[in-house]
Amino acid sequence: MVCVLLLVLLIVSAVYALKTEHKKLLKKAYPLGYSDIVTKESSANGLEPALVYSVIRAESNFNPDAKSAAGAIGLMQITPDTFEWLQTKLKPEKEYTESDLYNPSVNIKYGCKFLSILLGKYSSRRTALCAYNAGIGTVNSWLSDPSVSTDGKNLTNIPYKETKNYALSVENNYNQYNELYDFG
């Protein structure tokens, strides 16, 4: 009987140790990089930090020097045209240049602003994420197409595979961040 109890204790200890190591590995895969900036800008824009981290992970995997083939720059992968438009919304004291998008503070500030605008414009997070990836004009045209949106507000079918995968990736990241960390 004592041997059985010892065996059960050893198994329970091993399972606990494996779960702890697994969680440590997951936290390395889902880091909280640039946490001071993310906390500040997510709060200023009424966003959940988990969503901001999820977008950064999907867009650049926390590489501030990332640049896409489409010309999107930095942690949150903002295009220069979108950046220029966002500056008219935030009316900064100084006008930033395209190279400022490599600065994590600037990039996260404007990425959070853009995400906030999209979440206010669209009735679902998934639709807003599609607009972040494919553009507002593209998503608006999808919403007016009955084969893509049955209600004109939500996307029932995402025509671009890249955008569909992007939205799914951000949602998966979001779920993982909320499972790993306490943002409350």
DSSP assignment of 80-134 = HHHHHHHHHHH--SS---GGGGGSHHHHHHHHHHHHHHHHHHSSSHHHHHHHHHH
DSSP assignment of 42-95 = HHHTT--HHHHHHHHHHHTTT-TT-B-TT--BTTTTB-HHHHHHHHHHH--SS-
Query: What is the residue extent of each domain of the chain?
Result: 1-30, 34-180
What mean pLDDT is reported for the chain?
92
Give the model's pLDDT for residue 14.
52
Mean per-residue pLDDT, 59-80: 97
pLDDT tens digits along 11-67: 655 555 556 677 888 999 999 999 999 999 999 999 999 999 999 999 999 999 999
Q: Which of 19-23, 108-112, 154-158 has the lowest mean pLDDT?
A: 19-23
Residues 63 and 72: their CA atoms lie apart, in Å, by 13
In degrees rounded to 5, what are phi and psi of residue 33? Answer: -65, 145
Please determine, looking at this structure, whether the domain spanning 34-180 carries the CATH number 1.10.530.10: yes
Residues 135 and 62: their CA atoms lie apart, in Å, by 22
Give the model's pLDDT for residue 22.
75
Q: Give the bridge partners for 78, in sequence order.
A: 73
Asked if residue 164 lies in contact with residue 45, where contact means CB atoms within 8 angstroms, the answer is no
Q: Which residues contact 130 (CB under 8 A, 6 or more apart)?
A: 139, 142, 155, 158, 163, 166, 167
Question: Cα–chain-centroid distance for residue 80?
Answer: 19
Confidence of residue 92 (pLDDT cuts 50, 70, 90): confident
Give the model's pLDDT for residue 161.
97
Give the model's pLDDT for residue 150.
95
Asked if residue 159 lies in contact with residue 142, where contact means CB atoms within 8 angstroms, the answer is yes
Q: What is the pTM of this model?
A: 0.90
Give the model's pLDDT for residue 2.
63
Residue with the two structure tokens 């909280």: 32
